A = this chain, B = another copy of it.
């Protein structure tokens, strides 16, 4: 298929798409935030001068993009994490999931040590309390032999929240996409390292030691990267056919 041909055909924007853009603008102009109730269908009909069916189609599109949520019998509301979808960069569709996971790990090694340093410099008392709790949740999972994936990501997001930068906590789940794949590949070889590494980072942040927090985070993520590379190299040597890749 000649994709350049496809690119040259201008994207048609349907009426519901156009109306969805107008409703988005309305949300922004009226400073509506997560949990706020939307105007009714009829109000939107009279405001935007389109039929009720079109409004419904537009709302469906906006629900699929996590801008709105419909609660049956209650109405339509602004979604939590407005406009953030679960896999915003379409990683699930990357053909080489193993290389993706290496590339993501490289980004984490470069980016997150700074996040840990900034966290140590800017964390509030409240942040520190939550960080300690999050650290414990991962340890409890590991000690109990449970999957610690979600709590692991939450721990790293919590560190990002300590920076007070509003973008960073939203970037962490994206670059942590491969954490699940990682665990499967390495068969969680680094469980005790995870406990020790996380504690070292959390402790350094809580005593406002930015340099140590940065170094410990780099070491934690580097060890993960080395382990991942080792496993993928072994798999390659066994010439695992691409169809048998372990997908997350």
Q: A-side interface residues toward B, CB under 8 Å?
A: 1-3, 6-7, 9, 11-12, 17, 20, 24, 27-28, 31, 33-37, 57, 60-61, 64-67, 69, 71-72, 77-78, 80-85, 87-96, 99-100, 103-104, 106-107, 110-111, 114, 165-168, 170-171, 174-175, 247
5 contacts between A and B (CB under 8 A): A57-B60, A67-B93, A83-B92, A110-B111, A171-B174
Chain B nearest CB from A57 CB (Å) reads 8
| B residues less than 8 Å from A90 (CB atoms) | 66-67, 81-84
Contacts known (A89-B84, A90-B83); A6 close to B95, Cβ less than 8 A: no
Contacts known (A36-B1, A60-B61); A93 close to B27, Cβ less than 8 A: yes
Contacts known (A82-B90, A107-B171); A71 close to B9, Cβ less than 8 A: yes
Cα A171 to Cα B103 in complex, Å, equals: 12
As for how many copies of this chain the complex holds, the number is 2
Closest to A61 in B: B64
Cα A71 to Cα B7 in complex, Å, equals: 11
Cα A9 to Cα B70 in complex, Å, equals: 11
Cα A83 to Cα B99 in complex, Å, equals: 18
A11, A61, A93, A174 interface centre (most CB from chain B within 10 Å) = A93
**Contact (Cβ within 8 A) B67 A64:** no
**Contact (Cβ within 8 A) B28 A93:** yes
Q: Within the complex, which residue of B1, B12, B80 is in contact with A35, where a contact is CB–CB below 8 Å? A: B1
